[in-house]
Amino acid sequence: MEVFFADAREGDVTKADQSIVEYKSWKMTGDAATLDGILDYNKVDCENTEALRDWLIGIRNKDLPWRPFGPATADKEGKSEERAEAEAAAQALIIRCWNLCPTCSAM
């Protein structure tokens, strides 16, 4: 998605798959410059993800209600126990991520 809204990446690490290879290299060598390249990549990745989020919120129809967080109030008939557990786990992860986001709590 970055290609549509962000400048081209600079530095030693410019792609997600490359960061994985570099991390493995760093684990084997302990080279500080390799770790710095990964950290720089991750910093830009976080900044771009936040910028994308902000842009999406900016173009969102203001009349649409926000989906409430929390479990669904009504069970669907015939939902398997496995599906119910998976949905509960996914919802818990969404809430956890929301609570960890420093700018999300302001919304």
pLDDT the model gives residue 73: 57
Closest C-alpha among 63, 61, 67, 49 to residue 103: 49
Q: What is the mean pLDDT of the chain?
A: 84
Whether 99 has a pLDDT exceeding 70, the answer reads: yes
| Residue-range domain boundaries for the chain | 2-64
Q: Is the dihedral of CA 28, 33, 36, 42 positive or negative?
A: negative
107 pLDDT above the threshold of 60: no
The pLDDT tens digits for 3-51 are 777 888 888 888 889 999 999 999 999 999 999 999 999 999 999 999 9
What is the band of 85 on the pLDDT scale with cuts at 50, 70, 90? confident
If you write DSSP's letter for every residue of 35-74 in order, what string do you get? HHHHHHHHHHHHHHHHHHHHHHHHHS-TTSPPPPPS--SS
Q: pTM for this structure?
A: 0.56
The pLDDT assigned to 104 comes to 63
Distance between CA atoms of residues 53 and 106, nearest Å = 14
